[in-house]
Structure 1
């Protein structure tokens, strides 16, 4: 019987085992989170004025969290303190625990590689079953540290080399390059194509992520391709709503508006789809995931935290995708290059009586499938913005960037 496990977020795959690691993932402000993390791992802090981001080399150069006020400001990344505090375990210590499959450190932007499932999966070894017991996060995006090769006050560059084997037995020798750059207000405004009111507070950063074919064979669609996959984990709230604008048009021409069946269809009280945009709850109370295809994508996704009056924006470099986007479903796939380019995940209890993993919510983007000749490179650039201010000021940005008013966002699930 064909398994209908529509799972593209490895983090969600382990929700049901949360009780094994506990759920005390509370964080303070940015300064509190950085102080905590520095007790357990190396943290690189990039700063421009009061804006700052905290990056962890040991965790693949991931942005753990960020703020617009380095001393007193909020911490935007979800931090899994129990796992960070515990650190890496021996093979014997990992038995029967989540760390057999993944170390869930948290962090608001991390470097990953796809696909997760399917005949070209990176998370299943050849000959295994597409079942959780056989699912394992590759060490390169789980336990291996990236080397910090250069740093300035506002940027840090990391490098790493690895070899991967996919489910079909294809071998990939990969060079990874990742640069995290903190953007100033002028750079951020230019990238978004907007004017920013001087009263707004913002932290913005851009990551340049590259994979290079370091082997002697061309990466072939017939034996599997890789993609760069960026995932961000944010703190949820009852008043946080994800907003993703998309191209309107017929499904015959552009395909399905929204893929909302990753964990079973998302109910109307958590997802509202209009002709050119969607609203999705980021409250961390119900597990669900949605995706937008490349044909529909406008290259942007966002969320609004009405309680904190914070507009969150994620953009990426849209580029040609002659080989499509990798598909991560846990099954042998009829269309292995029909995956989504933007995703959002909302954490929550997978079943009655079972605690959520975080809770948290995610915004994710992916690069095209990389059919690279030896020495060739695929680049995926993602930018993240957290903007705080009055609703009058933020409404102007929301209308321009997300195609909707703040009032519409706040009222999306009250109708």
Structure 2
């Protein structure tokens, strides 16, 4: 954040430390209408911005004074500028659509080359405002109508419905099968339920291209943050952006460990045949365990986002994780890391829908109790989550 941006924060934020949820909400409110949802007597909080497609920007397990878990691009938010290719504001749960590349891409105009010069994010998932259609203390519902054309020239007319909710204790306990009263941890859990409905005049089919819901979470890294990606049987993963240094990735028994320190640009993905609907990270420096669950029903058709004309356009990833780092010219956007999930690609008749759910939890506190959660969900001891 620039000095001028820091000094512009009002008197209230001066009472709240940088890096806390209260600080970030105060910052966001200077530039965009920000909805704060809460549960658990105000300890579990999330900040949602309708102008950023109903995006969950950040969250806290300890109210306004708690750690702010989401990565925010303060400069982009405060600048007021609209960039041509993409506006990266950050956020823990943002709504996107795939595929990014290939003959059915919605990020390239028809008959253009797959180069960065021709790539751009559709405004509908980048700068368009989502309408608030319902709001309560712990839930907000958004809606957006979109018209998109893919690389092959097929027109999509869709209605997006997106609901964001902060869980109460009982809901979290049901989802993780643990009694939180027995654990000395603070927690926040929230979900986005995302639906895309075909409201156009044509059915969607594989020959003209399909869409998928793509949810991405951008989080704050530390030197001791490691992502955990469980897998079913084979330690096969797709690697992007070149080779990953051996010290930044390790494959254990049914668990991939991936360095998320924000210092080396790399990304991996899992195909559906190897996917377990779970991933997470552990920050040993701040003692924060993050868990992500998502919809997965053993579908096999997922969009392929590689920037090329593809032989297998429906052999893409379900799960992705990205570690930010410097580009070749030394510039860097973050640092941040990402936990991502996608819906399957489905042929939809008129008025049919796809729904994808993405859930995020943060647990912070006693390491022994965090370890109990890790053992239950990831079947691994936190002491072994090291790279």
Q: TM-score normalised by the shorter chain: which range applies? A: over 0.9
Q: CA deviation at 1:198?
A: 4.2
Greater than 3 Å deviation, 4+ residue runs: none
Matched, 1:407 2:383: yes
What do the CA deviations read for 1:206-227 (whole angstroms, capped 9, x no partner)? 1100000001211010010000
Greater RCO between the two (CA within 8 Å, min separation 6)? 1
CA displacement 1:190-241 (0-9 Å, x = unmatched): 1122332342100100110000000121101001000000000000100100
Deviations 1:142-178 (A, max 9, x none): 0100000000100000000010000000000000000
Instruction: Report the Cα distance in structure 2 between the residues aligned to 1:31 and 1:104, rounded to whole angstroms.
Output: 21
Question: Contact (CA 8 Å) 1:214, 1:375: kept in 2 or not?
Answer: yes
Match of 2:346 in 1: 370
1:337 matched to 2:314? The reply is yes
Partner of 2:126: 142
Aligned residues of 1:246 and 1:298 also touching (Cα < 8 A) = yes
Q: Deviations over 1:260-313 (max 9, x none)?
A: 2x1112121111112411000010000000111111111000000001111000
Task: Note the aligned Cα RMSD (angstroms).
Answer: 1.4
| Unaligned stretches of 5+ residues in structure 1 | 1-25, 90-98, 250-255
1:72 matched to 2:28? The reply is no
The match for 2:172 is 188
What is the CA–CA distance in structure 2 between the aligned matches of 1:275 and 1:202, rounded to whole Å?
28
- Following superposition, the deviation at residue 27 of structure 1 comes to 5.4
CA distance in structure 2 between the aligned counterparts of 1:280 and 1:320, rounded to whole angstroms: 24
> How far, CA to CA, are the matches of 2:23 and 2:197 in structure 1?
37
CA contact (8 A) 1:157 1:177 kept: yes
> Structure 1: how far apart are the matches of 2:355 and 2:183?
33
SS of 1:100's equivalent in the other structure is coil
Q: How does the TM-score come out when normalised to structure 1?
A: 0.87
Are 2:330 and 1:354 aligned? Answer: yes
Which residue in the other structure is 2:90 paired with?
106
Contact 1:64/1:107 (8 A) holds in 2:
yes
- Between 40-49 and 270-279, the greater mean CA deviation after superposition: 270-279
1:43 Cα deviation after fit: 0.3
**1:282–1:346 Cα contact (<8 Å) kept:** yes
Determine if the alignment matches structure 1 residue 46 to structure 2 residue 37. yes
User: What SS does the aligned partner of 2:377 have?
Assistant: helix
* Post-superposition CA distance 1:96-151 (Å, at most 9, x none): xxx11001111111000000000000100002110001101001100100000000
Is 2:305 the partner of 1:328?
Answer: yes
8 Å CA contact retained: 2:273, 2:298: no
**2:238 counterpart of 1:259:** yes
Question: Does the Cα contact within 8 Å between 2:34 and 2:47 map onto a contact in 1?
Answer: yes
- 1:24-81 alpha-carbon deviations (Å, 9 max, x no partner): xx95210000000100001000011211000000000000000012221010000001
SS of aligned partner of 1:36: helix
Preserved contact between residue 27 and residue 79 of structure 1 (Cα < 8 Å):
no
Q: Is the partner of 2:306 in helix, strand or coil?
A: coil
**Farther off after superposition, 190-199 or 148-157:** 190-199
1:398 to 374, 380, 385: 374
* 1:281 corresponds to 2:259: yes
Which stretch shifts more, 390-399 or 278-287?
390-399
Instruction: Look up the match of 1:299.
Output: 277
8 Å contact from structure 1 (residues 320, 368) kept in 2: no
* Contact 1:245/1:403 (8 A) holds in 2: no
- TM-score normalized by the length of structure 2: 0.93
1:238 aligns with 2:216: no
Which residue of structure 1 aligns with residue 188 of structure 2?
Answer: 203
SS of 2:97's equivalent in the other structure is: strand
Match of 2:207 among 219, 222, 226: 222
SS at match of 1:169: coil
